[in-house]
Amino acid sequence: MTKKSLIEKIKSLLALATGVGNENEKQLALKRAQELMAKYSVDVVFARHPCESTPTIEQIRYETKLDLPISLRTSLDLAHTIEPICQNFGVYVAYNLAGHVLLWGFKTNLEVAIYACETLLYQGIQDFKREYRRQRTMGFGISFWKGFREGLKVKFDKSIIPENALVLYDQVKQEWMRKVTFGSGSFNQSNANGMELGIQSARDAVLNKGIESTMSGRLLK
């Protein structure tokens, strides 16, 4: 399987896993996508470096092409928002004082996680813009994206991680923890309606919906 066909296969499986349908079929699709990512990460590394006992873990900067709303423009807020998406694919997230969001993971997993982040965030941004025009209340942006994060956690809460992938991704987590100093963020405003809309937006976002044609072709390159 070529890299291009592998990525397309994983994207198709993720579309099934996050779309509308039978819950068992969605879980099987997600499991198969995760198995492909784990297997490919190991096979490629061992083929090139047979003596290595551990796949190579990469660190990259997440640079979105999306026009982010003010509530997502700090590295802390953006990192917290994409964290539940990335960890579902064995990728770990951090931010630094220079304003960068950093990702750790195997190469294929990083590419798939970024695709998922861009696709789901785009849909959230469109929902946010539409609802903000209707609401225009103090703190709506903060509460919407807080809700969006909670919705993503619920969306990926029942993910099935194959045992072989769990072992591999634990190595990524250990590398991530060695290099990261943890911080915490707080939200001092709340809007129940905005949070509810954010949760709903995350739950409705699917990976087969895609994004605008102006974005197509820029992902996974």
Question: What is the pLDDT, as a whole number, of residue 164?
Answer: 53
Q: Where are the alpha helices (DSSP H) in the chain?
A: 3-18, 23-48, 75-87, 107-135, 140-155, 163-179, 192-204
211: how many CB neighbours lie within 10 A of its CB? 19
| Structural domain total, the chain | 1
213 belongs to a structural domain? no
Q: Which two tokens stand for residue 110?
A: 């990083």
Question: For all residues of the chain together, what is the average pLDDT?
Answer: 75
13 belongs to a structural domain? yes
Residue type, 113: A
Domain that holds residue 171: 3-204
Using the 8-state DSSP alphabet, how is residue 70 labeled?
G
Q: What is the pTM of this model?
A: 0.67
220 belongs to a structural domain? no
Please state which of the ranges 143-147, 187-191, 196-200 shows the lowest mean pLDDT.
187-191
pLDDT digits (tens, 9 = 90+) for 107-121: 778 888 888 899 889
155 belongs to a structural domain? yes
pLDDT digits (tens, 9 = 90+) for 9-58: 877 887 787 677 778 888 788 778 777 776 666 554 444 444 444 557 88
In the structure, what pLDDT confidence band is assigned to residue 211 with cuts at 50, 70 and 90?
low
Residue type, 29: A
